C-alpha cells in the first residue's frame, strides 16, 4: 500500500454535522430573549457556536468563569480519558452582552446556566431544546449540541487554515482528533472544483 492509499484509509467515512452561516443564524433566531428560559437558551447556543464548548462544559460553567474585563471565559478540564484540557477562550462583545443580560435575571445558583429554580440543567433537556429549535428553524439536518461545536471548529479552520489553533480552541490533547475538520473543508473544496470543472452554471 502506497502513501496515498494509506492516507485514504485514515480519512473518516462519516463527517460531523456542520451548520452553515445561514443555518446558524436561523437557529439563533429561534429562542425568545424576552423570556428567561429563551434568553438562557440563546446564551448557551451562542456559546457553543462562538466558542466551541461541549455540552458538559456549558452545564458546568460558573459565573466566575467569565472575565468581562478581558472578554474571556475559562474552561476547566475534565479527566484525561475525555481528551479535555483547561483552556481560556475569548468571546465577542455580542456574546458577552447576552451573558450580562442573563446574569441580571438568573436565579441564585452556583452555575452560570441553571433551571429557573437554580438547579443544575439536565443535558437531555438541552439536547431536546437544540433539536426542537433546529426543527423550528427548518434546518434539514440532524442537529445536536455537539453539531454546534463542530460548526465552530469548521468555521475557525476555514478562517485561519491553522489546525493547531483549532486544536487549542477545542482543548484537544491529540491533534489527530482535530484533523477531521480539515477533511470536511477539503471535501467542500473537492466538490466545488468538480462542479467548477464540469462547466455547469449555478
Domain that holds residue 80: 20-197
Active-site hit among 54, 87, 106, 150: 54
Query: All 3 cell numbers of residue 137?
Result: 428553524
List the beta bridge partners of residue 67.
72
CB 139 within 8 A of CB 27: yes
pTM of the model: 0.80
171 is a domain residue: yes
Active site annotation includes 172: yes
Active-site hit among 40, 87, 106, 149: 149
Active-site hit among 85, 101, 146, 158: 146
3 is a domain residue: no
Active site annotation includes 149: yes
- Domain count for the chain, please give it: 1
80 is a domain residue: yes
Q: What is the DSSP string of 69-100?
A: TTTEEEE----GGGT---EEEE--HHHHHHHH
More confident residue, 201 or 88: 88
130 is a domain residue: yes
14 is a domain residue: no
Percentage of the residues of the chain whose pLDDT score is greater than 90: 60
105, pLDDT greater than 60: yes
pLDDT tier at 199 (50, 70, 90 boundaries)?
Answer: low
Query: All 3 cell numbers of residue 151?
Result: 460548526
Neighbouring C-beta atoms of residue 196, cutoff 10 Å: 9
H-type alpha helices, the chain: 3-10, 21-28, 36-51, 55-60, 93-105, 123-136, 145-160, 163-170, 175-178, 180-197
Interval 116-133 mean pLDDT: 96
Query: All 3 cell numbers of residue 156?
Result: 475557525
Active site annotation includes 150: no
Provide the CATH number for the domain around residue 117.
1.10.443.10
Backbone CA torsion sign across 123, 124, 127, 129: negative
Amino acid at each position: 500500500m502506497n502513501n496515498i492509499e494509506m492516507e485514504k484509509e485514515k480519512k473518516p467515512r462519516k463527517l460531523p454535522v456542520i451548520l452553515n452561516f445561514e443555518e446558524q443564524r436561523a437557529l439563533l433566531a429561534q429562542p425568545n430573549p424576552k423570556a428567561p428560559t429563551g434568553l438562557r437558551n440563546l446564551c448557551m447556543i451562542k456559546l457553543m457556536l462562538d466558542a466551541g464548548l461541549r455540552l458538559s462544559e456549558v452545564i458546568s460553567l460558573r459565573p466566575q468563569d467569565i472575565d468581562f474585563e478581558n472578554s474571556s471565559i475559562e474552561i476547566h478540564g475534565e479527566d484525561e480519558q475525555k481528551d479535555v484540557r483547561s483552556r481560556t477562550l475569548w468571546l465577542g462583545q455580542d456574546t458577552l452582552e447576552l451573558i450580562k443580560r442573563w446574569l441580571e435575571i438568573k436565579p441564585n445558583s452556583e452555575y452560570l446556566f441553571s433551571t429557573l429554580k437554580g438547579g443544575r440543567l439536565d443535558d437531555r433537556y438541552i439536547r431536546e431544546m437544540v433539536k426542537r429549535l433546529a426543527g423550528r428553524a427548518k434546518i434539514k439536518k440532524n442537529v445536536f449540541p455537539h453539531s454546534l461545536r463542530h460548526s465552530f471548529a469548521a468555521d475557525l479552520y476555514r478562517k485561519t487554515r491553522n489546525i493547531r489553533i483549532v486544536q487549542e480552541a477545542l482543548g484537544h490533547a491529540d491533534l489527530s482528533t482535530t484533523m477531521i475538520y480539515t477533511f470536511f473543508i477539503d471535501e467542500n473544496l473537492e466538490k466545488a472544483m468538480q462542479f467548477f470543472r464540469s462547466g455547469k452554471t449555478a
